[in-house]
Amino acid sequence: MISEKKLSMPSIDFPSQGVPDSVKDTEEYGLKIGQAIQHEWFYRGEGNSIARFYSQWDSFHKLRLYARGEQSVAKYKRELAFDGDLSYMNLDWTPVPIIPKFVDIVVNGMSDRLFKPMAYAQDAMSQAKRSKYQDMVEAQMVAKPILEKIQSSTGVNPFVMDPDDLPENDEELSLFMQLKYKPAIEIAEEEAISTVFEENHYQDIRKRVDYDIVTLGIGIAKHEFLPGDGVRLSYVDPANVVYSYTEDPHFRDCFYWGEIKRIPVTELYKIKPDLTKEDIDEISKYSQDWYDFHSVSSYYDDDIFMRDTVTIMYYNYKSTRKVVYKEKMLEGGAKRIKKKDDTFNPPEEMMEEGRFRKIEKTIDMWYEGVMVMGTNIILKWEPAKNMVRPKSTSQYALSNYVAVAPRMYKGVIESLVRRMIPFADLIQMTHLKLQQVISRVTPDGVFIDADGISEVDLGEGQAYTPEDALKLYFQTGSVVGRSYTSEGEFNHGRVPVQELSKNSGASKTQMLIGNYNHYLDMIRTVTGLNEARDGSDPDPRALVGLQKLAALNSNTATRHILEGGLYIYRTLSEAISLRVSDILKYADFSESFANKIGKYNVSILNEIKELYLHDFGIHIQVSPDEEQKAKLEDNINVALSKGDINLEDAIDVREIQNIKLANQLLKVKRKKKQEADQKAQMQMEAMRAQTNERSQMIAMQAAKVKAEHEASVKAQVKMVEGEEARKTMQFEAEMKLRLMQEEFMYNMKLKGIETDGMLKRDEMKENRKDDRIKLQSSNQSELINQRKNDLPPINFESNEDSLDGFSFEEFEPR
């Protein structure tokens, strides 16, 4: 039977941490801690002040209503009502859902970023394997030229790995070890973490956590080990959580956590099976007093909180525990160690005399408790089971709760929705006033002057009434009037129908619409969610690239939300890694758990069973955002356009999710391509030089052959020419000889003829001389005779026609 059950919240401090561990294990110690937490969060103070827990709950509830576009309209009614009277207002008070749009943009944008846990084995055994593999790669790198010669000369492949994949320098070796080397134990660890996330449907949990970070400014998740069920991840509503004061946005220094839950009374049997019916009745009675004391039912319009429910607090408290051992020195140098409690403290003399010593260390210890709120009833208090302890620092223990509030200052949490609320209220007020202006707009009317249509004869004997004037005016746009009255006076109402222009409220409407857009722009300004990101009113003149750049700049304003979700994912991954090791080492269902993890990859099943032997460092690989992808793609395209990389290299780079490693690989690929191009160019130049040299040799040989051929031909020609010349000379000599002979014969003949002629001429001369002498003698004789005889002159002309035997008779005409 539980005693002293009464609704009370005494002002109590947290108990001392210096008490023995046996005292910390008592329920009285746990009850004091629960009451201290209860007083800190549920004490109402003086007057009708609200408790801190319900004040926070109310604040979070208000933020969630705004995030859903379902906030209370009472504040708008109070501002628009005249003396509290709304009877003259016929308005639609439904809130304008502006904030939900921006919340959905941010939350859904977070869902596009994929997380992947990456494990790095950092224990001594894994490091030794890593170093051994790296030494092997380095040895292959150094011996590559020699191994290539061996392969070319013997035909045997001495390489352990593909020589084309071998790094060229230390930088490439570092990148190679990050990209290519992935031991099976790391793959097994990543598979284990991913499997646990999938089994717990973490994507659904993540969406709720991201929604809380955007809406409330804080997101909380929880990891725990349930016997028979394994590692469980769950979403925690920040509105139901209590924690110690902290200014750390990651809540790493919190020494207690609590979660307030309202559960059916029957659920208490699952927590403490030995409860009696009287205990249940009394707990139910005091729980109703708790609801009345805090007016809990005012937050929920549900009768369930008036009966058959109870408010309990699950809380975790961080303390310390001393681990003490007695080390006994045995004969022969052996030692025996026996565990003792923290009260074991023998004097030094006894230890020296008994040849033993005390060994102790202080470790973190988390206690779990369950308390019925408003009473001194504690249902559970015990040291937490399956605590998460890092292997490298096992004296520390991690909390089951993982929380983050990216914009916390002095314990005050700021959220994106909280920034938007003032302007969302102004938008709602503008919307309501716009309804008022539109509702008060009246249509234009007409003024009919009865004097202007009196006594107007239509020629049909009928009276022209105002009704007839209106029908004529609205059907034809014309009207009949009189300029003069029947008395002949000027009729001032000669235009009987005049249009009455009313104020349509257009200027007010435009002013209110301008205010509406201004407040909407202010929401974009304070949140950083511009038009390019929400796609509401993109500039038609802006290029697509500029719009994408504007949207990417907007992502910068909400990066802290992404980093908050990333912190929770990374912390949960580390906790899962440690819990999986413990399960495989201690849990009864380790075999089935290993089979569950390795069901997608049987080859790593044996490695999974040895996970507990290793220690891992966990980091999260985040898929790049559009800006990072765009920059990487630009780098790839520039490299491709310049021919610095091949298409295969671009595909390899695009497959890497880590942007930093992708850029490093791009640099390495580019450098290798340049070296390959230079090598190919050198080979081409060598081949070209070799070809040129071969061509020159061929040309020289051809020239030599040609020269020899030409020389031979020339020699043959010369020989032929010499032979021909000899023959020619011989022929010429023979001809000359013959000619000389002929010439000689002719000359001899001519000489004979000449001699004969000369002889004949001389003979003729002598003959003629003789004849002249004879003639002279004759003539002389005649002259002498003449003179003597004194004869007449003698004519000595010849009477012959020939001279010296040359006769002119032949020249006579015939």
Neighbours of 171 (CB within 10 A): 13
CA distance 561 to 107: 9
Mean pLDDT of 311-338: 83
Q: What is the per-residue DSSP string for 570-595?
A: HHHHHHHHHHHHHHHHH-TTHHHHHH
Task: Say whether 691 sits in a helix, a strand or coil.
Answer: helix
Average pLDDT score over the chain: 77
Residues 6+ apart with CB under 8 A from 516: 427, 430, 431, 434
CA distance 87 to 81: 9
Neighbours of 390 (CB within 10 A): 15
Rounded to whole angstroms, the maximal C-alpha distance in the chain is 232
Inform me whether the pLDDT recorded for 401 exceeds 50. yes
Mean pLDDT of 110-135: 75
Q: Which of 38-47, 370-379, 442-451, 592-601 has the lowest mean pLDDT?
A: 592-601
pLDDT value at position 534? 60
680-732 pLDDT, tens digit per residue, is 788 888 887 887 887 778 878 877 877 777 777 777 777 777 777 777 777 77
Inform me whether the pLDDT recorded for 213 exceeds 90. yes
For residue 488, give the DSSP letter: S
pLDDT value at position 286? 75
472-486 pLDDT, tens digit per residue, is 777 777 777 767 666
For residue 324, give the DSSP letter: E
Inform me whether the pLDDT recorded for 811 exceeds 50. no
Q: Name residue 382's beta-bridge partners.
A: 368
Q: What is the per-residue DSSP string for 197-262?
A: HHHTTHHHHHHHHHHHHHHTS-EEEEEEEETTTEEEEEEE-GGGEEE-----TT-TT--EEEEEEE
Residues found in the chain? 814
pLDDT value at position 800? 46
Mean pLDDT of 279-288: 78
Q: Which of 318-322, 577-581, 720-724 has the highest mean pLDDT?
A: 318-322
Q: Which of 150-159, 323-332, 461-470, 515-524 has the lowest mean pLDDT?
A: 461-470
pLDDT: is 326 or 28 the higher one? Answer: 28
292 residue type, one letter: D
Q: Which of 393-397, 427-431, 585-589 has the lowest mean pLDDT?
A: 585-589
Inform me whether the pLDDT recorded for 242 exceeds 90. yes
Torsion 73-76-80-85 (CA) sign: positive
478-520 pLDDT, tens digit per residue, is 777 767 666 667 766 667 777 666 556 778 888 888 898 898 8
Prediction pTM value: 0.70
Inform me whether the pLDDT recorded for 277 exceeds 90. no
pLDDT: is 202 or 662 the higher one? Answer: 202
Residues 6+ apart with CB under 8 A from 192: 576, 577, 580, 597, 608, 611
